[in-house]
């Protein structure tokens, strides 16, 4: 459920979790933004912010509301954040995407430490990494 500055309707993580009546396991995965590779010197601030909004803001909101729901239920749960190999290995023309996926790795680790006693121990992984 990504947040966006586009004209597409915004989805609400809080509404989605409330509608499911459970947050024992929440998976947050963002879909890559289709665009040709753009060098950092040619990238607009708007393009940079769009990638960050989808890949970071959307995941933040999902995790925030999942933790709240898990705390309220008292039953704990698991949060799965799916990143990308691009969060580990850089590629030319993908600076915003790679930066956002690397940020997700540390965000996941920080949240895990923050809520370790309340939720099920989890793991952060990047697809393609065994």
Q: Which of 100, 108, 107 minimizes the C-alpha distance to 124?
A: 108
Is the pLDDT assigned to residue 107 strictly greater than 70? yes
Q: Look up the CATH number of domain 45-130.
A: 3.40.50.720
The DSSP secondary structure of 41-86, one letter per residue, reads TT--HHHHHHHHIIIIIHHHHHHHHHHHHHHHHSS--EEEEE--GG
The predicted pLDDT at position 23 comes to: 53
Decide which of 127 and 1 is more confident: 127
3-state secondary structure of 125: strand
Task: Give the residue-averaged pLDDT of 95-119.
Answer: 88
Decide which of 119 and 66 is more confident: 66
pLDDT in tens, 78-95: 888 888 888 889 889 989
Judging by beta carbons within 10 Å of its beta carbon (0-12, 13-18, 19+), is residue 120 exposed, middle or buried? middle
pLDDT in tens, 14-23: 666 565 555 5
The upper half-sphere exposure of residue 75, i.e. CA atoms within 13 Å in the direction of its Cβ, equals 10
Active-site residue, 20 included: no
The predicted pLDDT at position 115 comes to: 87
Token digits of residue 108: 């996941």
With vertex at residue 77, the alpha carbon angle to CA 79 and CA 3, rounded to the nearest 5 degrees, is 35
Q: Which of 50, 62, 86, 97 is catalytic?
A: 97
In angstroms and rounded to an integer, the radius of gyration of the C-alpha atoms of the chain is 15
**Domain extents for the chain?**
45-130
pLDDT in tens, 31-55: 555 567 889 999 999 999 998 998 8
> Of all residues in the chain, what percent carry a pLDDT higher than 90?
21
């Amino acid at each position: 459920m990504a947040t966006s500055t586009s004209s597409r309707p915004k989805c609400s993580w809080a509404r989605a979790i409330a509608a499911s009546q459970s947050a024992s396991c929440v998976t947050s995965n963002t879909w890559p933004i289709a665009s040709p590779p753009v060098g950092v010197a040619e990238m607009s601030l708007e393009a940079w912010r769009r990638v960050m909004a989808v890949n970071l803001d959307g995941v933040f909101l999902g995790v925030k509301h999942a933790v709240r729901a898990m705390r309220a239920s008292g039953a704990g749960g698991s949060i799965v954040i799916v990143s990308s190999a691009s969060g580990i290995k850089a590629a030319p023309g993908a600076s915003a995407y790679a930066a956002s996926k690397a940020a997700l790795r540390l965000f996941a680790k920080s949240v895990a430490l923050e809520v370790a006693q309340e939720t099920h121990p989890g793991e952060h992984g990047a697809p393609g990494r065994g």
